[in-house]
Amino acid sequence: MSLTIFKETFVNSLRGSVRANLPRYSEDGVWVSDLGVKSQREMETSVELKAPLELLEPTNGDLKDIENAIRVHKALPHLTPLQARDPRLWTRLTHVEHWSYMRKRWPVEKHMKDEDRATRFVESRYFVTQAQSRALLRNGIARLWWSAKVSHDPKRDNPYELTGVLLSTLDITQQILERGIGRAPAVLVGFLEFLNCNKDPLLTGGDENRIRIRRLAKFLNMYGGVCILDSLKQGQIMGLLEAELSRMLNATAPNPSAPVTS
């Protein structure tokens, strides 16, 4: 089965009408298919789905991001980067094929009190608003594909093992992907592998772990200011992070020789 996408003029028109259409973004049924003439709205592509693209809807706080990222990537593993940055593709998927998922995962209701905020929310989650990667990582479906794409490692027993790490919390996803280091394959994989190997001090949740991950991402970003990180091997990236984590843990460890005050 080949993918259908929106035409560019339709995407532009739809995006320009977000504010006017805000109430429709609270509707449960797909409404975009009622707009305009089909031939002016959509076009077929040469891209074939390799597996059925069905997404799991979030339930009781379980966002299902990891499972869904794997599903999107398995259905479209062959997309080229040029195809996968195309707003026509992702705008179509958020508004038609995965409208029901989008309504559960990215409901607009909680922003509706502030029309400007609601408009920005819809633009960022249902469209791809800019040419920069950040916009791709905000779109509700594109972010799933790209997260799986950059962390997929076919050499592993479970090729999506690091996708699980990347999407384990929204904070990790943002700290890594929204920085330049997220675009450098060896750096990204090294960082995720390091987190995976240090689950206890880093991945068990809580503010302390979150702060550590932020500091590690910041450290690597700063180190990249004087060193071409892309030239280093995964093991070297992990070595740098290991040394930095040790410094952090030592700095926060209680000093046994410190005087005890009553």
Partner 1 sequence: MKLSQRSYPHPVVGNRDDVPGAAFQATVEMSSDRENVYVDVATKCSSSTINQLIAKGAAKHVLHVECSNTLFRRAYDFAEPAKRISIPAECLNDAVEVNVFVRATRDLSDYAVDGAHLDYGNAKFQVREGDILAVGEGHIFHIESHFDSLRRIGSIMQIEEALEDGDLPLRVDFNGDKIRIILAKADFKDYKLLKAQEGISAALTTTIVLPVLVEALHFWKSGEAGADNDSLRWMRVLRARITALELGAETDNLVLAQKLLELPLKRALVASRQLAEATS
Instruction: Tell me which stretch binds partner 1 (CB under 8 A): 196-204, 210-218, 228-236, 243-251.
Output: 228-236
**φ/ψ (deg, to 5) at 129:** -85, -25
Minimum distance of partner 1 from residue 128's CB (angstroms): 10
Contact pick of 12, 13, 133, 169 for partner 1 (by CB under 8 A): 133
Which residues, 140 to 179, sit near partner 1 by CB under 8 A?
Answer: 146, 150
**x-marked contacts with partner 1 along 1-40 as a string, rule CB under 8 A:** -xx-x-----------------------------------
Q: Which stretch binds partner 1 (CB under 8 A): 9-17, 132-140, 166-174, 248-256?
A: 132-140
CA 118/CA 98 separation, integer angstroms? 20
Among 211, 227, 243, 249, binds partner 1 (CB under 8 A): 227
Whole-number Å distance between alpha carbons of 238 and 186: 10
Contacts of 89 (CB under 8 A, 6+ apart): 3, 5, 45, 83
**Is residue 73 close enough to count as binding partner 1 by CB under 8 A?**
no
Closest CA to 58 of 96, 125, 104, 107: 104
Four-residue CA torsion sign, 93, 94, 97, 98:
positive
| Of residues 51 and 211, the one with the C-beta less far from partner 1 | 51
228 touching partner 1, by CB under 8 A: yes
Among 22, 30, 35, 43, binds partner 1 (CB under 8 A): 43
- Mask of contacts with partner 1, 84-113, x by CB under 8 A? xxx-xx------------------------
95 by Cβ neighbours in 10 Å (0-12 / 13-18 / 19+) ranks as: buried
Ranges within 230-259 binding partner 1 (CB under 8 A): 230-232, 236
- Residue identified by tokens 């195809």 is 83
Among 1, 49, 51, 131, binds partner 1 (CB under 8 A): 131
| Smallest separation, CB 99 to partner 1 (Å) | 21
Q: Which residue has the tokens 């609270």?
A: 26
The residue count for binding partner 1 (CB under 8 A) is 38
Q: N- to C-terminal Cα distance for the chain?
A: 73
**How far is it, in rounded angstroms, from Cα 98 to Cα 49?**
15
CA pair distance 36, 48, nearest whole angstrom: 26
Q: Give the orientation angle of helix 234-252 with respect to helix 207-223, to 10 degrees.
A: 130
Looking only at residues 179 through 208 of this chain, which bind partner 1 when binding is defined by CB under 8 A?
Answer: 180, 182-185
Q: Which of 44, 157, 200, 207 binds partner 1 (CB under 8 A)?
A: 44
**Of 183, 176, 260, 257, whose CA–CA distance to 220 is shortest?**
176
**Contact positions vs partner 1 (CB under 8 A):** 2-3, 5, 43-47, 80-86, 88-89, 131-133, 136, 146, 150, 180, 182-185, 224-232, 236
